[in-house]
Amino acid sequence: MSDPESTPIALPLCAFGIAEFCRRYGIGRTTAYAEIAAGRLRCLKVGKRSLVTEDDAEAWLKGLPAVGSLPKAG
């Protein structure tokens, strides 16, 4: 029988480092820092580390401009 307190629990990420944020949202580091500098993406600092919360990442994504429909080929 295992000790419940020593069993690791898989918790969802609540904040991402810049590299993880970029990987999850398919953008480059330069773009991420440009979005932060422009005030469109909120970033928290912990020492030298920059973190983006999941809520802020989703708010940024929802705030991106929609692109019109692509024309049909043919």
- Model pLDDT, residue 27: 97
User: What is the arithmetic mean of pLDDT over 21-36?
Assistant: 97
Residue 57 and residue 16 in contact, taking contact as beta carbons nearer than 8 Å: yes
Tell me the whole-structure pTM to 2 decimals. 0.72
Q: How confident is the model at residue 28 (pLDDT cuts 50, 70, 90)?
A: very high
Residue 32 and residue 22 in contact, taking contact as beta carbons nearer than 8 Å: yes
In percent, how much of the chain has pLDDT > 90?
A: 69
Phi, psi of 15 (to 5 degrees): -145, 150
- Given a cut of 60, whether residue 2 has pLDDT beyond it is no
